[in-house]
């Protein structure tokens, strides 16, 4: 307990490093691909004179120069233009249009996950529903998304309906791939194990509530589980957006990666890294809060703790 700050510190550091490291890795990947970066982005059949393009896109002085000029551009509000997917369109408005859709998708998908965790913590879901939850969790998200996409096409035609796509996507994202079942079964397992501890029985005899006793102890693991679900939702969102044609960051990332449009890949992966980092940050904050709470509790002389 003396070094309680170490784990949150690692998480804070990772949260800070992630949005820098991920785009930098992308830059290194661009240089690792065979051929010079400018002709990967715009092949000679589409663009003659790749040296000129390399100069224009800051690709002529190595990966570090490209990365630093991209970062400084971002800080000055210039996110550049799409090179291939939507050639010529400024990246920033595209990303600004896509981010709310992804956040809405994630937010809606998080509702059943959080609700499931809550009812599981309060022991409101019985173990007999576990087989049903496990079967639901075993359904791959991509399969469920394809079924949803087929239904959407039949119902709304080939162009689909944006709101229907979003709601269906959120439902699939929240239910499939073991997100909901993992949230319920995992949380219940965590709390029921803690509930079996002797100190909980003593607390009940003292007339205290179970949850107020168990929560500080399970909180770090519980927050960790929630972060894992968050990361799962984040990665699942890419698949769901592509299949259900939701105009979000995941779909954008998919298209940009296929077309090797690094002008678009860079800001989108940075945003994904930022979302992932924010989850790490929240987890670290939670751990700090729990540690401070525990350290502020009255000292009962050692044996009771």
Give the footprint of other proteins on residues 98-127 (CB under 8 A): none
Q: Which residue, 97 or 208, is less far from other proteins as judged by CB?
A: 97
Q: Which residue, 123 or 247, is less far from other proteins as judged by CB?
A: 247
In 3D, which of 141, 230, 149, 218 has the Cα closest to residue 183?
Answer: 230
β-pair partners for 90: 81
Query: Among 49, 62, 73, 107, which residue sits at the site for other proteins (rule: CB under 8 A)?
Result: 49
Least CB distance to other proteins at residue 73 (A):
14
Q: Tell me: does residue 157 bind other proteins (CB under 8 A).
A: yes
Least CB distance to other proteins at residue 77 (A):
16
Q: Which stretch binds other proteins (CB under 8 A): 18-26, 155-163, 195-203, 278-286?
A: 155-163
Least CB distance to other proteins at residue 235 (A):
22
Q: Tell me: does residue 260 bind other proteins (CB under 8 A).
A: yes
Least CB distance to other proteins at residue 247 (A):
6
Least CB distance to other proteins at residue 149 (A):
11
Q: Which residue, 46 or 134, is less far from other proteins as judged by CB?
A: 46
Q: Which residue, 43 or 107, is less far from other proteins as judged by CB?
A: 43
Question: Three-state SS string across 209-225, please?
Answer: CHHHHHHHHHHHHHHHH
For residue 174, the tally of other CB atoms under 10 A from its CB is 26
Number of residues that bind other proteins (CB under 8 A): 36
Least CB distance to other proteins at residue 227 (A):
31
Least CB distance to other proteins at residue 223 (A):
36
Query: Among 245, 285, 288, 289, which residue sits at the site for other proteins (rule: CB under 8 A)?
Result: 245
Q: Which residue, 141 or 263, is less far from other proteins as judged by CB?
A: 263
Are 211 and 122 spatial neighbours (Cβ–Cβ below 8 Å)? yes
Here the tokens at position 185 are 């079964």
Give the footprint of other proteins on residues 60-89 (CB under 8 A): 81-84, 86-89
The residue ranges that bind other proteins (CB under 8 A) are: 35, 40, 42-50, 52-53, 56-57, 81-84, 86-90, 94, 97, 153, 157-159, 245, 247, 258-260, 263
């Amino acid at each position: 307990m003396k070094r309680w700050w170490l784990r949150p510190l690692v998480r804070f550091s990772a949260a800070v490093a992630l949005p820098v490291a991920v785009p930098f890795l992308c830059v290194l990947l661009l240089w690792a691909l065979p051929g010079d970066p400018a002709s990967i982005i715009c092949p000679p059949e589409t663009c003659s004179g790749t040296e000129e393009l390399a100069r224009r896109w800051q690709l002529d002085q190595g990966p570090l120069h490209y990365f630093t000029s991209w970062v400084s551009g971002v800080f000055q509000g210039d996110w550049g233009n799409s090179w291939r997917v939507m050639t010529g369109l400024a990246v920033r408005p595209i990303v600004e249009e896509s981010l709310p859709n992804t956040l809405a998708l994630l937010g809606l998908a998080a509702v059943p996950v959080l609700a499931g965790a809550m009812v599981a913590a309060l022991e409101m879901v019985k173990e007999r529903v576990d087989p049903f939850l496990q079967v639901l969790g075993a359904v791959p998200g991509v399969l469920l998304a394809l079924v949803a996409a087929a239904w959407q096409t039949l119902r709304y035609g080939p162009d689909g309906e944006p709101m229907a796509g979003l709601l269906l996507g959120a439902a699939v994202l929240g239910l499939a791939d073991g997100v909901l079942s993992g949230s319920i079964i995992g949380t219940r397992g965590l709390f029921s194990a803690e509930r079996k501890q002797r100190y909980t029985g003593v607390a009940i005899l003292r007339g205290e509530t179970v949850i107020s006793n168990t929560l500080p102890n399970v909180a770090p693991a519980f927050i960790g589980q929630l972060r894992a679900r968050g990361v799962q939702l984040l990665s699942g969102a890419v698949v769901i957006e592509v299949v259900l044609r939701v105009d979000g960051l995941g779909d954008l990332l998919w298209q940009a990666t296929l077309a090797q449009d690094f002008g678009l890949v860079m800001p989108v992966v940075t945003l994904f890294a930022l979302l992932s980092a924010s989850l790490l940050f929240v987890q670290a904050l939670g751990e700090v809060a729990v540690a401070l709470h525990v350290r502020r509790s009255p000292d009962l002389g050692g044996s009771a703790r």
